[in-house]
């Protein structure tokens, strides 16, 4: 806003002095040269500001926990209390007190709905603890493309895994899910 105000006033100034649009710096009158320098200086300030902003962004620590459970072999049941684990051994010291939250979603093969992160299942735990206990909603439907995302400053997602709807668990379902998961892991879905 600040910059555009300056630019606008410079533009009006140039227009009023040389009676030409700001972009045509062709002439060589002293007033024009001065205004051109002023315009360039303003541009330069803005470029410098932009660069500082980028440096600021680079300084922020982005940490993506590597989720170790669930994996593609995992089969959970709706309503169950389970533990999500991740490897935080590479957590930068500056991030030692970062807290996170866990979301459950699903990732349909056709990409519909993106990550579908519909359920927030834990929050406020320390990322450095490398685990959090969650209770799955009791009304989850059976799918083999569930994911959990552990988010701290930034997030990372698990492999796709299976949750069975409550009360529908049979040995056949479990075996089917494992076979599907194995095919999917091998990229043969
Ligand atoms: C996310 O975690 C996986 C392991 O679970 C790891 O291979 C990957 O590098 C991580 N992604 C990022 C962006 O850190
Ligand atoms: C993390 O918390 C501890 C205890 O409150 C504190 O001593 C330490 O300085 C904190 N670390 C960072 C990087 O803020």
Which tens digits make up the pLDDT trace of 63-87?
778 899 999 999 999 999 999 999 9
Q: Which of 48, 96, 75, 82 is nearest to 160 (CA)?
A: 75
For the chain, the straight-line distance linking the first and the last C-alpha, in angstroms and rounded, comes to: 51
- Taking CA atoms only, the protein residue closest to ligand 2 atom 2 is 97
The β-bridge partners of 150 are 102, 156
Strands 143-151, 131-135: parallel, antiparallel or unpaired by DSSP?
unpaired
Which pLDDT tens digit goes with each residue over 17-50? 334 444 444 445 665 555 555 555 444 443 333 3
Identify the residue whose tokens are 């069975």: 164
What ligand is nearest to the CA atom of residue 126?
2
Q: How far apart are CA 168 and CA 174, in angstroms?
A: 10
pLDDT at position 12 is 35
Model pLDDT, residue 117? 93
Which ligand 2 atom minimizes the distance to the CA of 95? 13
Q: What is the residue with the minimal CA distance to atom 1 of ligand 2?
A: 97
Q: How confident is the model over 129-154, as a mean pLDDT?
A: 91
CA 167 to each of CA 15, 60, 80: distance values in angstroms, whole numbers, following the listed order? 77, 46, 11
Report whether residue 85 contacts ligand 1, using a CB cutoff of 6 Å.
no
Ligand nearest to the CA of 96: 2
Q: Please name the residue whose Cα sits nearest to atom 14 of ligand 1.
A: 64
CA of residue 63 to ligand 1 center, whole Å: 10
CB under 6 Å to ligand 2: residues?
Answer: 94, 96-97
How far apart CA 73 and CA 85 sit, in angstroms, is 14
Q: What is the pTM of this model?
A: 0.56
Cα–Cα distance for residue pair 14/170, rounded to 1 Å: 79
Nearest ligand by distance to the CA of 97: 2
* pLDDT tens digits for range 146-157: 999 998 765 667
Pocket lining: 157 vs ligand 1, CB cutoff 6 Å: no
What local confidence, expressed as pLDDT, does residue 40 receive?
52
Among protein residues, the one with the nearest Cα to ligand 1's atom 2 is 66
- C-beta of 72 in contact with ligand 1 (< 6 A): no
- 86 forms beta bridges with 67
């Amino acid at each position: 806003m600040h910059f555009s105000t300056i630019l606008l006033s410079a533009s009006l100034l140039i227009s009023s002095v040389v009676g030409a649009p700001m972009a045509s710096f062709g002439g060589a009158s002293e007033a024009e040269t001065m205004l051109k320098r002023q315009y360039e200086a303003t541009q330069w300030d803005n470029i410098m500001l932009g660069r500082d902003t980028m440096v600021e962004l680079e300084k922020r620590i982005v940490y993506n926990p590597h989720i170790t459970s669930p994996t593609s072999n995992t089969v959970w049941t709706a309503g169950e209390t389970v533990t999500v684990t991740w490897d935080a051994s590479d957590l930068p010291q500056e991030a030692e007190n970062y807290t996170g939250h866990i979301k459950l979603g699903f990732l349909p093969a056709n990409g519909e709905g993106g990550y579908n992160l519909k359920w927030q299942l834990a929050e406020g735990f320390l990322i450095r603890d490398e685990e959090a206990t969650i209770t799955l909603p009791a009304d989850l439907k059976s799918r083999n493309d569930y994911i959990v995302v552990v988010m701290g400053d930034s997030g990372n997602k698990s492999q796709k895994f299976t949750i069975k709807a409550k009360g529908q668990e049979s040995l056949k379902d479990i075996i089917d899910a494992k076979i599907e998961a194995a095919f999917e892991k091998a990229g043969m879905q």
